[in-house]
Structure formats: C-alpha cells, structure tokens
Amino acid sequence: MEPIDAPSRRAVKPIIRYPDDNLPRPNLALYQAASKGATLVDEVTIPPRDARCFTVPAGHFSRITSVEGPHVGDLNLWNAENLTERFYSGKTRALHGTHITTGQQMWSSFPTLRPMVTIVKDTLSWYGINKFGGSVHDVIGTRCAPHINTLLSGGQCHHCCHSNLIRALATHTGLPLKAAEPHIHDVLNVFIAPVSPAIPAGIL
C-alpha cells in the first residue's frame, strides 16, 4: 500500500555521490605546471574497434586524444605490478559523480582505494552538463561484451570492447586469454557524448 507521504518521498533530491568535503584534493596547480615541461617518450595509436595496452610509470603523464573524428574509448587501468589492483569505476562514481573531468581522480579497487590517475586537463570541459545530466567522460559502468550479446540476441561478437580489452591485456602481459579475462573490469567511457569531429578532443 502506498504511504501517505509518497509524493514527498519522490520529491527528495537524489544524492549522486558521497559527501566529499574531507576527500583529499590533488595539487592540480603543481601537476599542471609539471605537464607543461613534459617530453613525449612514447606514442600508441589504437585502430578503430581494437584495443592496446601500454605502461605509464608513476609520475608520468598520459594523454588520450581522438585523432580521426569522434570515437568512444573504454579505458581499463591496472597496477603494473599487481593486476588485482585496478580501476574501480563504481567507487570513482560514488566519489565524483557519473562524469569526471579536470581535477578529479580515478580510484583503485579495495583494499587500497587510492588514486590511480588524476585528470590534469580536459579539452572538452566546455561541454559541461547537458539537460539530461550527461557530460563527456562517464563512469556509469560497463562495456559491450559477447556475453550480453548472446543473452539478448543469441549471437556472438568477438570484436567488441570486452573482447578487445582481453586480447590487448593478454598480448601485453603474456597471459592466456582465459587468464586475462577476469582482470577486465568496468570502464571509464572516454568521449561518450556527441562531439563535433572538427574539434580536437583530448584528456590528460
């Protein structure tokens, strides 16, 4: 039976993240100053509908750029010394909200729960939040996968985000495909909002 105060309960404004007044803040000014003197040491081009792994040493910067028009990238992160410590999309969402940008961080899984990445610059921050509550880079959740495709349509798809990430991690680490798959996790969706292909898109 619907309670008497049901309308007032429905009218309560939702809380989309944890209160973050005591959340440690990165020294963004320091990072941004350091990035201005950064020197390119490596570059990886990822073909459409494919994936690649690369190592970013602690203290280095990594830039993700869309170079041939609008694309969406599914980003996984791991501790290079311990694959069980990986990006925790859900807790990052709980700490920062559904979309992340400059000054926010990507947090690792339990029990460490520490920043793996600090976003120093986002050339698409001008997009802001649209009327649907969306923005450009989201931590809403998952990646396309053959498992869900089979569940919904009965078909197979082996060049989707999940499968591409498995192959990339297996190639990078030397793990067999079956051993690599359990390390694939929920993602940061990079460049998910519609952006004009005429506008260079990048996140650092």
- Asked if the structure places residue 202 within a domain, the reply is no
- 142 pLDDT above the threshold of 90: no
Helix (H) or strand (E) holding 15: none
- Retrieve residue 185's tokens: 């996790």
Coil, helix or strand for 147?
A: helix
- Retrieve residue 45's tokens: 């081009």
Domain hosting 159: range is: 72-196
Percent of the chain past pLDDT 90, that is, above it, reads 71
Cβ proximity of 77 and 117 under 8 Å: yes
What's the whole-model pTM score? 0.88
Helix (H) or strand (E) holding 165: helix 161-173
- Asked if the structure places residue 140 within a domain, the reply is yes
How many domains, in total, are found in the chain? Answer: 1
- Asked if the structure places residue 131 within a domain, the reply is yes
- Asked if the structure places residue 158 within a domain, the reply is yes
- Asked if the structure places residue 32 within a domain, the reply is no
- Asked if the structure places residue 60 within a domain, the reply is no
Cα–Cα distance for residue pair 56/87, rounded to 1 Å: 14
Which pLDDT value is given to residue 159? 84
Cα–Cα distance for residue pair 129/146, rounded to 1 Å: 31
- Retrieve residue 132's tokens: 């649907």
- Asked if the structure places residue 111 within a domain, the reply is yes
- 203 pLDDT above the threshold of 50: yes
- Asked if the structure places residue 203 within a domain, the reply is no
Q: Is the dihedral of CA 155, 157, 188, 137 positive or negative?
A: negative
